[in-house]
């Protein structure tokens, strides 16, 4: 059975955050809220957690995972940014965007796009995620919590707990979450290409 954490959306309780992060450190998989919609997440080096996400969502090995980062210092360790890309990404973060960028050697090879050697990164504008990332000290390997056959992500923590009770190790609930995944912008060629329109306004990148 999954642990259930009812966390305040603005002032998350440190004890609950600490316990949830310990589950991540111990190799667990958690469902957690972001500023776009709920996500499934595990620690960066957790191969089993990554495989569990693929199984839960019925995805293949080509699925692009996202590294959810606390801030630009952390994001900059994971991806290469030239000055122009840095300014564009900086202007849109924190926020409801995922950016596909060339990965640094800090990112495990198994997480990269097999041909492009890229990875998705984002900095969410959400107090609970920020608290988790601050406590964990590294990015969370994440994927949108969109179940096979569903048209939209689940928005209620209790619903996720009921449905995924034996598939995840923890559910973090801070109230109703959004329905729309992030807008995805591919900067791997140095020029922005909007590959998915979502919660973030794509206009600055078109």
pLDDT digits (tens, 9 = 90+) for 29-75: 999 999 999 999 999 999 999 999 999 999 988 788 899 999 999 99
Q: Which domains does the chain have, with CATH numbers?
A: 3-205 (3.90.870.10)
**CA distance linking residue 76 with residue 205, whole number of Å:** 20
**What pLDDT is stored for residue 45 in this prediction?**
92
The three-class DSSP label of residue 61 is: coil
Any idea which residue has 């973030």 for tokens?
A: 200
Confidence check: pLDDT of 23 > 80: yes
**CA distance linking residue 90 with residue 189, whole number of Å:** 18
**CA distance linking residue 156 with residue 77, whole number of Å:** 33
Beta bridge partners of 100: 120, 186
Q: What element of type H or E holds 158?
A: helix 157-164
pLDDT digits (tens, 9 = 90+) for 152-196: 888 899 999 999 999 999 999 999 888 899 999 999 998 999 999
pTM, two decimals, is 0.95
């Amino acid at each position: 059975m999954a642990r259930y954490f009812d966390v305040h959306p603005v002032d998350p309780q440190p004890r609950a955050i600490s316990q949830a992060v310990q589950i991540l450190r111990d190799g667990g998989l958690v469902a957690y809220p972001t500023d776009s919609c709920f996500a499934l997440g595990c620690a960066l080096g957790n191969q089993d957690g990554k495989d569990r996400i693929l199984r839960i969502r019925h995805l293949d090995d080509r699925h692009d995972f996202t590294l959810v980062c606390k801030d630009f210092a952390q994001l900059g360790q994971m991806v290469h940014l030239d000055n122009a890309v840095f300014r564009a990404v900086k202007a849109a973060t924190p926020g409801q965007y995922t950016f596909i960028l060339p990965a640094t050697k800090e990112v495990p090879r198994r997480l990269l796009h097999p041909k492009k050697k890229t990875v998705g990164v984002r900095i969410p504008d959400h107090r609970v995620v920020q608290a988790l990332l601050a406590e964990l000290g590294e990015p969370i390997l994440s994927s949108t919590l969109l179940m096979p056959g569903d048209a939209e992500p689940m928005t209620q923590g209790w619903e996720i707990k009921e449905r995924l009770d034996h598939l995840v190790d923890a559910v973090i609930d801070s109230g109703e979450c959004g329905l729309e995944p992030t807008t995805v912008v591919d900067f791997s060629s140095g020029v922005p290409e909007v590959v998915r329109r979502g919660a973030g306004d794509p206009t600055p990148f078109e």
